[in-house]
Amino acid sequence: MNIKLPPTVNSQILSVGSYRPKHIVANSEIAERIDSSDEWIQQRTGIQSRRIAGEDETVITMAQAACEMALKRAKLTMADVDTLILATITYPFQAPSAASELINVLGNPKAAAFDISAACAGFCYGVAMASDLVRAGSSKRVLVVGVEKLSEFTDPDDRATAFIFADGAGAVLIGPSEQARIGPVAWGSDADSRDAILMNPAYTDFRNSPDKGVTELGWPHISQQGQTVYRWAVFTVSKIGVKALELAGVRADELGAFIPHQANMRIIESMAKEIKIPSSVIIADDIRVNGNTSAASIPLAMDILLETHPELHGSLALMIGYGAGLVYAAQVVQLPPLP
């Protein structure tokens, strides 16, 4: 007895879309509260400003805008999409998933939909899964959206993080292709360093200590050990980037762009040095004006790169996501064609 399977196909990124919140917040608006300065923040992170979502800009509305832009550029509608993968750590409900709400507002409540929790690696995890779903024939077209409203889960008095995190959404549409246009993923975890990035307290802490509440326990917020994360990103995760290049059989000088997670400009520059990215390759630096938007940062950076460097359409890019877990994922992709 043989089980019937669809033939395997190749996969590609058909289009990208993004959403940047309207409100721009300069370093000077944050610096005083944490006894810092614009110069200090720029020197440590490269961040000049970031976008912070208003009350009407939610995880769902931002993700919807990014997905609709990606669909429009591919000249497709939500009826052509059978699967949606949403990466976030800032949707304020445990269930149902943000993905299920999103397919409903996008107009295809019958699509397969689920969230993944892989923090700043979430987008690359999603692309890996979407590519394999298409390749195996489980899905025809998959929307992968990374979206964060980190401003809701950032402590404005934390001198280590208050100036880093920001909001936004980015999406790619992945579908079948004649040629392979998404490389194999290099991924994994360093969960023995789990404490390096945490979101605390837990929901249950509020129930267990009703006398304390938010005033004493603090609202759930992300804290991180900056030096540990920097060391891990530059000297461990860079090797994953090299591995992704090897798996795809692509040399660094064949890349058009390097699009790592926009965590910190110093990490990005040191990573590029470790991976030996040549000067001919354009390095994404969206963090300067957009801050660290976790799962949304790579598609946001991809979209702005294609806008400012249209010649990059159709060229190869190395993407590396890494973050709380600690988890990481990297792959080489061919950037989508001009819409």
Partner 1 sequence: MALAQADVLAGLKEIVEEVAGIPGASVELDKNFTDDLEVDSLSMVEVVVAAEERFGVKIPDEAVTDLVTVGDAVNFIVNAAK
List of residues contacting partner 1 (CB under 8 A): 43-44, 225-228, 230-231, 234-235, 264, 266, 270
Minimum separation from the CB atom of position 201 to partner 1 (A):
23
| Cα separation, 37 vs 28, whole angstroms | 7
Comparison of 162 and 257: residue with beta carbon closer to partner 1: 162
Comparison of 104 and 236: residue with beta carbon closer to partner 1: 236
Chain centroid to Cα 272, Å, comes to 18
Comparison of 169 and 196: residue with beta carbon closer to partner 1: 196
For 34, phi and psi rounded to 5 degrees?
-110, 20
Q: Helix 122-136 crosses helix 297-308 at what angle (to 10 degrees)? A: 80
From 67, 124, 261, 290, active-site residue: 261
Selection from 121, 134, 258 nearest residue 191 by Cα: 121
Minimum separation from the CB atom of position 296 to partner 1 (A):
24
| Cα separation, 95 vs 91, whole angstroms | 10
Minimum separation from the CB atom of position 49 to partner 1 (A):
21
Question: What strands lie across the sheet with 316-323, from one edge to the other?
Answer: 186-189, 327-334, 316-323, 257-260, 282-283
Comparison of 117 and 223: residue with beta carbon closer to partner 1: 223
Minimum separation from the CB atom of position 43 to partner 1 (A):
7
Task: Answer yes or no: 313 catalytic.
Answer: no
Comparison of 195 and 311: residue with beta carbon closer to partner 1: 195
Minimum separation from the CB atom of position 265 to partner 1 (A):
11
| Cα separation, 34 vs 331, whole angstroms | 37
For 144, phi and psi rounded to 5 degrees?
-115, 120
CA distances from 213 to 199, 203, 272 (A): 16, 11, 44
Task: Answer yes or no: 67 catalytic.
Answer: no
3-class DSSP state for residue 257?
A: strand
From 120, 124, 221, 264, active-site residue: 120
From 27, 264, 290, 292, active-site residue: 292
Q: Mind telling me the catalytic residues?
A: 120, 261, 292
